[in-house]
Amino acid sequence: MKVQIFLIGLILFMSTASCGYDASFATKMVYVSGLSYCQADQIVNDKCGKATDQVRNTYKMDVEYAMDNGKSVNSITMAVLKSDNDKQYFVGFSGTRETSQLIAEIAESFPRSYEIHPEIGEAKVMDYFYQRYLDDFRDPFLQKIKEIIKGNPSYGITFTGHSLGGAMTVHAAADFILSGIDTNRKVQIYSFGQPRVGDHKFIDGFASKVSGFYRVTHSKDIVAHIPPCITDLHDGCTESGILPFYPYHAPQEIWYNEDSSSYTQCSTKEGEDPTCSNSNALNDSVDDHLKYLGLPISGLTSYPASLEELLKA
């Protein structure tokens, strides 16, 4: 009898531990990503409008740390929160805020070597996202996250962000994992409208060590397909060949339909699943990029800049 009870408990634990994509949890991450569009002092002082109300009052999350990178053109904010109810820490990054920042992202959209963890091989990443993480966030992030998570060794960490914030959160998660800061810590990623960050060597170097990587896309979101992948006539997006760089997404894509009433859980092995958003003849929608799970993700705060205005300019 005791053996039966033990086996039942073990099965329940395993099914809970590997439950996969959680749409309700993803909604929380939309609000955390939205909160990150605020400036650090506004986040700390609970002055980020609807995002603050939802994150602090409804979800009962505590703000552990927030910082701005201090740049005028390439302004980015990182926030670290904690939920005792979820037994999770959350690391969120802001997305694109201003037209000048968008121009810089486009101008610096070229590949470079991923040098901070050469052990994963000759990986390449997009310069802008990598450089912003390396120059503006890496040292303070690694230092603060070590201090913050020390008090709760059983809590997991979820990295999240929208658009540019999605790319930044991939770099932060990869660095946390590859640095070996806490190899027993459960780490997952929920990104929204994330552009391609690097090639398959970069993705393969850390993604298998993440307990869940959920790359949420919305219908025909244009940003989720920037920079464009290299395609062939038969297999769609390819991960290698004679060219020097092949941008490639990580699995698992979670593809929402236009009104966000349903979603498809795409391949858990192929980041560029040809049956999901890559099946669209054209991914050119700005509107789809601005809303995730029915929420205006960059418009959930009191931050004055309008992502909608700059993308539609």
Question: Can you give the CATH number for the domain in which 148 is found?
Answer: 3.40.50.1820
Residue 12 domain flag: no
Residue 1 domain flag: no
Question: What are the helix (H) ranges across the chain?
Answer: 2-17, 23-35, 40-44, 49-52, 99-107, 127-132, 138-149, 164-178, 200-206, 286-290, 307-311
Residue 273 domain flag: yes
Residue 137 domain flag: yes
User: Residue 157's pLDDT is what?
Assistant: 99
Structural domains in the chain (count)? 1
Nearest Cα residue to 79 out of 207, 169, 1, 204: 169
Cα 184 → chain centroid: 21
Residue 42 domain flag: yes
Per-residue pLDDT of the chain (313 residues), as tens digits, is 544 544 444 433 333 344 699 999 999 999 999 999 999 999 999 999 999 999 999 999 999 999 999 887 789 999 999 999 999 999 999 998 877 887 888 888 899 999 999 999 899 999 999 999 999 999 999 999 999 999 999 999 999 999 999 999 999 999 999 999 999 999 999 999 999 999 999 999 999 999 999 999 999 999 999 999 999 766 789 999 999 999 999 999 999 999 999 999 999 999 999 999 999 999 999 999 999 999 999 888 855 444 555 455 4
Residue 211 domain flag: yes
Compute the distance between CA of residue 17 and CA of residue 7 in angstroms, rounded to an integer: 15
The pTM of this model reads 0.91
Structural domain including 215 reads 22-311
Residue 242 domain flag: yes
Residue 9 domain flag: no
